[in-house]
Structure 1
Amino acid sequence: MIKRLFDFTLSAFGLLILSPVMAGVAWKISQKMGSPVLFKQVRPGRDGKPFKMVKFRTMKDAIDAHGNPLPDSERLTSFGQFLRSSSLDELPELWNVLKGDMSLVGPRPLLMEYLPLYSAEQYRRHDVRPGVTGWAQINGRNTLSWEDKFDLDVWYVENRSLWLDIKILFLTVKKVLVRDGISADGEATMSRFEGSGFGEKND
């Protein structure tokens, strides 16, 4: 209950204070990429329950001759890269936190299609609400292997506390300022999880 009150209070305050910034980002996206301004996708929440996560759009809707989306590296614009490196694309997730779908701190919500690929231990990341930021994000973010990322997620589940959340939020601000760990080596973002740590991302 304390964590939920903490999340609700800070997300409401954040939405209020950051509304001019969010309006400016939305206008810039509409100018550079058109509509929609927001990216919405169903992600697994606590206990794997689906919810619709909302972020600012960072990629063009570019497809190949067969109608398939082009790789992230070809769809991600320079402005989109700036939004990701500054984490401004994550700001609309404060609405998910306010609604109770997410927490400020927790394992990042990944893709629904990953659910059957997790081991029993890895699935424990869904014992808590997913977060806007998390223990893995301040310890390497997208430069981590999938296995290391999940180990850090489970560590957070086992050791979570309000004070740990405050520490993670503080370190997240520091990471954002230096723009550290934005992408994996050789990738525009992060490789797709295929149960063995290889493969195209959508985080």
Structure 2
Amino acid sequence: MALLVIPMLLIFIAVRQSSKGSALYWSNRIGRNNEIFKMPKFRSMLIETPDVATHLLNTSDSYLSPIGGFLRSTSLDEFPQLFSVLKGDMSFIGPRPALHNQDDLIAL
């Protein structure tokens, strides 16, 4: 566990230093038995980003924080989800937890 905390702490500090706002982004997801839980990610976008799906933004890259592109390309923004796995909200195996508007995935 200590091996996970040190790199996560470094990323947390880097996110906080590179842009204003919280280092973590919490997304409501639909988990097992259609229960809603909060899934954490390191924030890779600026806090001024419109609250819409990233693929709906014309220039989504312009909303990335200074280290957001790196976090996404290396998938380090997903690192906090390990705590959701340890907590039992998620698992390593199976589909990614769906957003509330992804009915096709929720039906699986």
With normalisation by structure 2, the TM-score equals 0.82
1:91 aligned onto 2:79: yes
In 2: Cα distance, 1:92 partner to 1:41 partner: 12
How many aligned residue pairs are there? Answer: 102
Q: Which residue of 2 aligns with 1:28?
A: 14
Deviation at 1:33, TM superposition (A): 1.2
Q: Which residue of 2 aligns with 1:123?
A: 107
What amino acid maps onto 1:112 in structure 2? H
What SS class does the counterpart of residue 113 from structure 1 fall into?
coil
Contact kept in structure 1, 2:15 and 2:43, CA below 8 Å: yes
Structure 1 consecutive aligned stretches of length 4 or more whose deviation exceeds 4 Å: none
1:56 aligned onto 2:42: yes
What CA deviation, in whole Å up to 9, does each residue of 1:13-69 have, x standing for no partner? xx4312111110000000111220000011011132111101110000225xxxx44
What amino acid maps onto 1:48 in structure 2? N
Q: Which residue of 1 aligns with 2:101?
A: 113
Name which structure has the greater RCO, CA cutoff 8 Å, separation 6+: 2
From the superposition, tell whether residues 60 and 24 of structure 1 become closer, same or farther in structure 2 (CA, over 3 Å).
Answer: same
1:45 aligned onto 2:31: yes
In 2: Cα distance, 1:35 partner to 1:86 partner: 22
In 2: Cα distance, 1:109 partner to 1:28 partner: 27
Map 1:54-203 → 2, pairs under 5 A = 54-63=40-49, 68-69=50-51, 71=57, 72-115=60-103, 118=104, 123-124=107-108
Deviation at 1:77, TM superposition (A): 3.0
Contact kept in structure 2, 1:61 and 1:69, CA below 8 Å: no
Point out where structure 2 has 5 or more consecutive residues left out of the alignment: none
Contact kept in structure 2, 1:40 and 1:52, CA below 8 Å: yes
Q: Could you say what the CA RMSD is over the residues aligned between the two structures, in angstroms?
A: 2.0
Q: Which residue of 2 aligns with 1:143?
A: none
Contact kept in structure 1, 2:29 and 2:100, CA below 8 Å: yes
Point out where structure 1 has 5 or more consecutive residues left out of the alignment: 1-14, 125-203
With normalisation by structure 1, the TM-score equals 0.46
Deviation at 1:112, TM superposition (A): 0.6
From the superposition, tell whether residues 16 and 106 of structure 1 become closer, same or farther in structure 2 (CA, over 3 Å).
Answer: farther
